[in-house]
């Protein structure tokens, strides 16, 4: 009798096996599809963001943290593509500033836009090391450990909200290169009349469209909004 029950159970299992395999394969497919979808969306633009090139393609993009020519000496985490991402209203405002610049026969160039939070954390980690290979070019007169204290690097950056942009005007002399940490880069601290004029011109073009300058960096501008914008850590791809 026990043998008969076992045989019946075996027959029943075999008859259900194809159905179970179909259902199992279905669930595996759903799980895989979910994983692929999650991976794909991880590099999509945050809600309310746009690529600058889709709104203002005439603005040159020279994204320094994508390459090694920056104060860290290497590609910064989070920059897998040399693209400028910004909140859409910021990109639209830059388009207006670019139109104003073009009336003068000039063109804007961006050095950094949205910055993933992991990049900010990498700056903190870099500052804690003894590596000073880039000191001569980027911070010759400032102690590395004081870069945060003196306001040249921030532990929390508006760049991570998509509201800040590092920008210049192509071909003009601004007195120092982008990301030069020192008093020479302070917007109002200029040695020649021409540099002063160029910095004032840049500030004028941006301020006309709701941007404010950070006084210790002639290149850094933040778009003024009333909302408390969230910080993002999505890689730029």
Q: Which of 143, 197, 217, 235 is the catalytic position?
A: 217
CA distance 25 to 43: 28
Residue 79 DSSP code: B
3-state secondary structure of 169: strand
For residue 214, the tally of other CB atoms under 10 A from its CB is 17
d(CA 51, CA 88): 8
Contacts of 175 (CB under 8 A, 6+ apart): 184, 185, 190, 191, 192, 195, 199, 218
Residue 61 a catalytic site member: no
Residues in the chain: 237
What's the CA gap between 118 and 233, in Å, rounded? 6
* 48: DSSP letter: T
Catalytic residues: 217
């Amino acid at each position: 009798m026990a043998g008969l029950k076992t045989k019946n159970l075996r027959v029943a299992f075999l008859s259900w096996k194809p159905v179970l395999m179909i259902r199992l394969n279905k669930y595996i497919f759903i799980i895989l599809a979910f994983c692929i979808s999650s991976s794909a969306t991880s590099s999509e633009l945050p809600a309310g963001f746009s690529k600058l090139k889709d709104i203002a393609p005439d603005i040159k993009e020279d994204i320094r943290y994508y390459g090694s020519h920056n104060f860290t000496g290497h590609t910064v985490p989070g920059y897998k593509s040399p693209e400028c991402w910004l909140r859409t209203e910021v990109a639209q405002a830059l388009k207006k500033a670019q139109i104003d610049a073009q009336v003068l026969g000039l063109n804007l160039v961006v050095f950094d836009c949205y910055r993933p939070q992991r990049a900010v954390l990498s700056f903190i980690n870099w500052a804690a090391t003894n590596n000073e290979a880039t000191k001569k070019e980027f911070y010759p007169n400032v102690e590395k450990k004081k870069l945060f204290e003196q306001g040249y690097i921030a532990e929390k950056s508006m760049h991570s909200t998509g509201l800040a942009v590092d920008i210049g005007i192509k071909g003009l002399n601004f007195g120092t290169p982008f990301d030069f940490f020192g008093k020479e880069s302070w917007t109002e601290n200029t040695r020649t009349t021409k540099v002063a004029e160029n910095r004032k011109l840049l500030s004028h073009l941006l301020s006309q469209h709701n941007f404010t300058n950070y006084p210790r960096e002639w290149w850094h501008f933040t778009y003024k909004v009333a909302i408390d914008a969230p910080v993002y850590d999505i890689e730029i791809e």
